[in-house]
Structure 1
């Protein structure tokens, strides 16, 4: 799978994630609604190979930067009950390659949270490439996956009536990435 066939305007090389124009977000069911949150401090690189299948990426997220727009909830989520950011300050993703399934593309890699590493596949949408007003070249990507938080040792929950719980096990991860050509 050549880059020229998939995205001819996207050139091989290193692209640095621009955190000021990107978002690392998540959605989890809390009681009867979905809570949306972001991590505001993160960094990473995308290494595009001429053979797209050999492309890689790395990212690091500072867990204490969690923001659900509710300071009390955020403070609790940062504690040892949930994310334990004091002992596990970062979450990392190391991509091992890109694969195509029909018209969809997936970035496969290893996600590490609380020192537990598990494989994940992010469904990726390429949004294009262009010049920015400052003379740089930028590429845009959207990506998403769903994980079970318990697979990474995030067990906290409170049982509710009717076999329900305060939190769902499922967490949707949603990325909007703008990367600058190095």
Structure 2
């Protein structure tokens, strides 16, 4: 599972578009191919497990020190992981087919729960999906620096790819 951020503002050339991996998470899906409405999904992620994997753009390459600083900012100023150690999603409705489905559900980030729609498809035994999270809807102020000249866009994209495993 990865989170993709993009930058904006007059100073955006100084920053990086980030790919952040959620390294510790688990989920469970009950899939009813005959009746997709009978399907359900729950996911829980460790909010402190986000690791910066890539930074593109910017005036200079992203350094290890930059990655550590970004991780600290995410934990302490964005997600407040000391008070909110997990991020959760629970489906409320599933519609579509394996080739194209959407899941409506409730996403909880930093103690705030709001509805979210996940789009996805199944191919070659893997489930692929994505959702756009507008940070401000969850009470998160997008990160900014250089007196606001460099900001992250309010919208971040969450993508996932998981292997299907039959129930044991």
| Shared fold (TM-score, shorter chain, > 0.5) | yes
Contact residue 54 and residue 96 of structure 1 kept, 8 A = no
Once the two structures are TM-superposed, the CA of residue 164 in structure 1 deviates from its matched residue by 4.9
Structure 2 unpaired stretches of 5+: 54-66
Contact residue 63 and residue 85 of structure 1 kept, 8 A = yes
**Partner of residue 62, structure 1:** 46
- For residues 29 and 17 of structure 2, the distance between their equivalents in structure 1, rounded to whole angstroms, comes to 30
Once the two structures are TM-superposed, the CA of residue 72 in structure 1 deviates from its matched residue by 1.8
**Partner of residue 64, structure 2:** none
Once the two structures are TM-superposed, the CA of residue 75 in structure 1 deviates from its matched residue by 1.4
Once the two structures are TM-superposed, the CA of residue 78 in structure 1 deviates from its matched residue by 0.6
**Partner of residue 149, structure 1:** 135
Contact residue 36 and residue 96 of structure 2 kept, 8 A = no
**2:82 maps to 1:86:** yes
Pairing 1:24-103 to 2, within 5 Å after superposition: 24-30=1-7, 31-32=12-13, 33-49=16-32, 50-69=34-53, 70-79=67-76, 81-100=77-96
How many corresponding residue pairs? 146
Structure richer in strand, relative to its length: 1
**Partner of residue 123, structure 2:** 127
**2:100 maps to 1:104:** yes
* Deviation sequence 1:67-86 (CA, Å, 0-9, x none): 0141221112110x211011
Structure richer in helix, relative to its length: 2
SS in 1 for 2:106: strand
Contact residue 55 and residue 96 of structure 1 kept, 8 A = no
TM-score (norm 1): 0.73
TM-score (norm 2): 0.78
- For residues 162 and 80 of structure 2, the distance between their equivalents in structure 1, rounded to whole angstroms, comes to 26
**Partner of residue 161, structure 2:** 176
Once the two structures are TM-superposed, the CA of residue 156 in structure 1 deviates from its matched residue by 4.5
